[in-house]
Copies of this chain bind each other. A is one copy, B any other.
């Protein structure tokens, strides 16, 4: 079983700071928010973390031992991909040079403190997307270690990722044989545009319902209509934690509009939904709770390319974590192998080093 979204936590920001250029450490220490990363305007009313694991002042999952106990051994996960938690928002810092420094330090910290400690872990590469050339440089540097298996971008952004300025990031990923993962989050933080489509929402529940889904929808449509997959036929994109029940409806809209608006994007020679099927994958968590209509949900997902486009993820240690037992119980039997293992193995290919499993 492959878990495509395990969040890596630090027990103390100083752990990561130890990897920052000593001359810059003080700058990161004196920022209002930890490490100068942008802060959320909304927070979960209880905690962002699983309450069965959290204690006052303690972030769960901040040690390799906990990830072994709670994920690898505890759930029978063969390979877990570590995605930055707060640090994925380096792209939303106003300073691109500080963002590049922190991204580099975070990638090195993951490599030495996590990947070197536990052979069942793999890493996502964070990079400063607000400076795409610097981001490409960091991708090439970090990707030299084959235990990094994807580039990790955050959902919140100044512009959708199909925009021409971001192309160096995707080119570097393809050059290194890496998929690009876009993880929801960060919408409305720092440099990011407001979430949803009508200005800053009021409550965390709005962000969690539409902010996370909305940025993922926007990047999907943008990457397709800007022709990024035409330029980079080998590119694969994994969309993490934006939900999936909206997918058939949005693909219908997109295909219909493509038919009516061919002159807007003449380089698109195929239906957008076909491009999505070939190039884009989705993680399961959070698979929508359907009020007893999982039959309908799976029929909808099938119309949009499932089960071939779904990869299992727990989102450990966040509050809305999905247990694999829960997922196995919900998934149609014929989907289970693909979703829990095969699709991720195909997406990451040799880089996943499946001999390690």
Contacts and interface: CB of A to CB of B under 8 A. Distances in A.
A335 interface: no
Given A158-B199, A198-B219, 18 more contacts: A44-B261, A157-B198, A159-B199, A194-B194, A196-B197, A197-B216, A201-B218, A202-B225, A202-B226, A203-B226, A208-B261, A213-B250, A249-B288, A252-B289, A256-B289, A296-B299, A296-B300, A296-B303
Contacts of A244: 249
Interface stretch (A55-63, A160-168, A309-317, A340-348): A160-168
Contacts of A303: 293, 296
Interface of A: 44-46, 155-163, 187, 192-206, 208-211, 213-219, 221-222, 225-226, 243-250, 252-261, 263-265, 273, 286, 288-291, 293, 296-297, 299-300, 303, 319-320
Which 3 A-B residue pairings sit nearest by Cβ, starting from the closest?
A197-B214, A245-B249, A193-B199
Given A205-B265, A221-B206, A260-B320, A296 B199 contact: no
Given A206-B221, A217-B210, A196 B160 contact: yes
A198 B296 contact: no
A209 B193 contact: no
Contacts of A253: 208-210, 213, 243, 245, 288
A197 B222 contact: no
A194 B297 CA distance: 30
Given A252-B290, A264-B204, A197 B210 contact: yes
B157 A199 contact: yes
